[in-house]
């Protein structure tokens, strides 16, 4: 791994918090993600299951975590199963965790090789009443692939039909939605790497560069600062492409007079950042582009002020929508009388601002959480309003990552250039990366 390992205190505390929510005499099992085939003998880049990482700090394939807080044998109340290495693996794949390294990274004392999981699990299940199984229960998830967690759950249910099955996901969603100070610092570090990449890009962009060249500059800065890589597929969208919300082709020439919408973020220690900025290709906004930009910025500032403990998502989105309506009326895109008479279930602003303003962020870019509960201190959200006008070749979105506290919110990206004047000043500085 490229990043510096996080303090094992984080994972020790996370396991304690999870165990405290388990029913008496229960086992919980968390398995790592599959190594997914790409083609021939190649695999897709592997990433650890976020729940397993959250509870163990182990960033290696074929890992299993077993928690049994009421186990009669105190040494088996926390068990970490690691892939056993050998000379062949060392030559072809490189170093794998030793038992001592697994202990240091996770804070777990009992380490067993993964090849012995089945026998150990069978013995412990003889004493347990319930078993917590984990699945990808994200409310936006959709997959046809029978992934490892799913296959493991089916196997357990077939082998132990008399045990009561419990879901780990609701507990994990509750725990993961509240970030600890160590997690916030990891996210802050990811944001700082993202800032370096954005500043690099401001000195690089000019008419005639291609979107993929900008992506390359970002990737360069990420990797030289020990990021794992991109937190998600970056969007580098110029001209009309800026109005395509999930544009990832990144293959067009950036033309004089157009805008570039860039949505990207680095991943560091499995924690994500998510930034969006929109800049003029030639370093100067036109008057119309500037007016739309300022409207988006006004909505962003208002939305940020609403990100505070006690706020409900529905109320938040409704008020942000009303703020957006006012800006779109000022821009001449909506008519005030028509807005007043609109169907509240189909607000007119959705024509120009069709996505949500915020989502949870953390170990996943679209992190887990409960969207119908009140916001709480420790939660982290993006804030990302936008206005998209394809007929004018204008697509503008601005996005920062925000952590809520009892004393207001903390903008993890507050030092990243945002005001139009600063963007123009940096793009027109004499010293740049071109």
- pLDDT exceeds 90 at position 140: no
- pLDDT exceeds 80 at position 301: yes
pLDDT tens readout for residues 113-123:
999 999 999 99
108-134 burial by CB neighbour count: b if 16+ within 10 A, else e?
bebbbebeebeebbeebbeebeebbbb
Percentage of the chain surpassing pLDDT 70?
99
pLDDT tens readout for residues 95-105:
999 999 999 99
pLDDT tens readout for residues 392-404:
999 999 999 999 9
Do residues 32 and 114 make contact, with C-beta atoms less than 8 angstroms apart? no
pTM: 0.95
pLDDT at 434: 45
pLDDT tens readout for residues 331-380:
999 999 999 999 999 999 999 999 999 999 999 999 999 989 999 999 99
Which neighbouring-strand residues pair with 330? none
**The dihedral sign for the CA sequence 347, 353, 356, 358:** negative
Distance, in Å, from the CA atom of 404 to the CA atom of 89, rounded to the nearest integer, reads 45
CA angle 8, 14, 19 (to 5 degrees): 130
pLDDT tens readout for residues 162-198:
999 999 999 999 999 999 999 999 999 999 999 999 9
Q: Which CATH class is domain 9-176?
A: alpha beta
H/E stretch holding 345 reads: none
Q: Would you list the domain boundaries of the chain?
A: 9-176, 181-427
Among residues 275, 193, 288, 269, the alpha carbon closest in space to that of 234 is found at: 275
pLDDT tens readout for residues 403-416:
999 999 999 999 99
3-state SS class at 279: strand
The residue among 433 and 134 whose pLDDT is bigger is: 134
Distance, in Å, from the CA atom of 377 to the CA atom of 380, rounded to the nearest integer, reads 9
Distance, in Å, from the CA atom of 336 to the CA atom of 291, rounded to the nearest integer, reads 18
Catalytic residues: 41, 246, 263, 274, 355, 359, 366, 384, 388, 397, 399
Q: Specify burial of residue 74 (Cβ count, 10 A radius: 0-12, 13-18, 19+).
A: exposed
Distance, in Å, from the CA atom of 132 to the CA atom of 167, rounded to the nearest integer, reads 5
CATH of 181-427, one of 3.90.230.10, 3.40.50.10780, 3.30.70.270, 3.40.50.720: 3.90.230.10
Distance, in Å, from the CA atom of 106 to the CA atom of 53, rounded to the nearest integer, reads 9
Among residues 183, 184, 191, the alpha carbon closest in space to that of 54 is found at: 183
pLDDT at 56: 98
pLDDT at 430: 56
3-state SS class at 396: strand
Q: Which two tokens stand for residue 283?
A: 């370093």
Q: How far is CA 247 from CA 29, 236, 250, in A?
A: 38, 8, 7
In the DSSP assignment, the letter for residue 399 is: B
- pLDDT exceeds 90 at position 428: yes
pLDDT at 91: 84
CA angle 144, 146, 151 (to 5 degrees): 155
- Compute φ and ψ for 6, nearest 5 degrees: -75, 160
């Amino acid at each position: 791994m490229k990043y510096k390992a996080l303090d094992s205190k984080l994972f020790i505390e996370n396991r304690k918090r999870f165990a405290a929510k388990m029913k008496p005499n229960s086992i919980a099992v968390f398995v790592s993600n599959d190594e997914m085939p790409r083609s021939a003998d190649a695999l897709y880049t592997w990433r650890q299951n976020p729940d397993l990482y959250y509870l163990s700090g182990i960033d290696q394939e074929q890992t299993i975590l077993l928690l049994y807080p009421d186990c009669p044998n105190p040494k088996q109340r926390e068990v970490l199963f690691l892939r056993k290495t050998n000379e062949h693996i060392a030559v072809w794949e490189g170093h794998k965790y030793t038992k001592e390294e697994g202990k240091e990274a996770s804070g777990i004392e009992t380490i067993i090789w993964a090849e012995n999981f089945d026998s150990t699990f069978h013995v412990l299940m003889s004493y347990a009443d319930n078993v917590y199984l984990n699945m990808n229960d994200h409310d936006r998830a959709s997959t046809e692939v029978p992934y490892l967690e799913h296959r493991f759950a089916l196997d357990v249910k077939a082998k132990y039909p008399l045990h009561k099955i419990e879901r780990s996901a609701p507990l994990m969603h509750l725990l993961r939605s509240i970030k600890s100070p160590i997690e916030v610092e990891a996210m802050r570090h990811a944001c700082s790497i993202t800032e370096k990449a954005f500043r690099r890009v401001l000195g690089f962009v000019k008419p005639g560069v291609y979107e993929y060249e900008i992506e390359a500059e970002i990737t360069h800065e990420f990797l030289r600062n020990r990021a794992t890589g991109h937190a998600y597929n970056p969007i580098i969208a110029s001209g009309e492409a800026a109005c395509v919300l999930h544009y990832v082709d990144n293959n067009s020439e950036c033309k004089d007079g157009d805008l570039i919408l860039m949505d990207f973020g680095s991943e560091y220690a499995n924690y994500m950042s998510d930034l969006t900025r929109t800049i003029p290709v030639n370093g100067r906004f036109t008057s119309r582009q500037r007016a739309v930009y300022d409207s988006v910025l006004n909505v962003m500032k208002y939305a940020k002020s609403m990100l505070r403990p006690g706020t409900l998502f529905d109320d938040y989105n409704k008020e942000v929508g009303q703020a957006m309506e006012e800006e779109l009326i000022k821009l001449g895109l909506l008519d005030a009388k028509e807005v007043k008479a609109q169907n509240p279930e189909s607000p007119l602003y959705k024509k120009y601002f069709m996505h949500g303003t915020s989502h949870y962020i953390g170990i996943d870019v679209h992190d887990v959480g409960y969207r119908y509960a009140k916001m709480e201190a420790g939660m982290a959200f993006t804030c990302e309003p936008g206005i998209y006008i394809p007929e004018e070749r204008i697509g503008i979105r601005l996005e920062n990552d925000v952590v809520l506290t009892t004393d207001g919110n903390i903008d993890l990206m507050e030092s990243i250039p945002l005001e139009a004047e600063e963007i123009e000043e940096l793009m027109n500085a004499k010293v740049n990366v071109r």
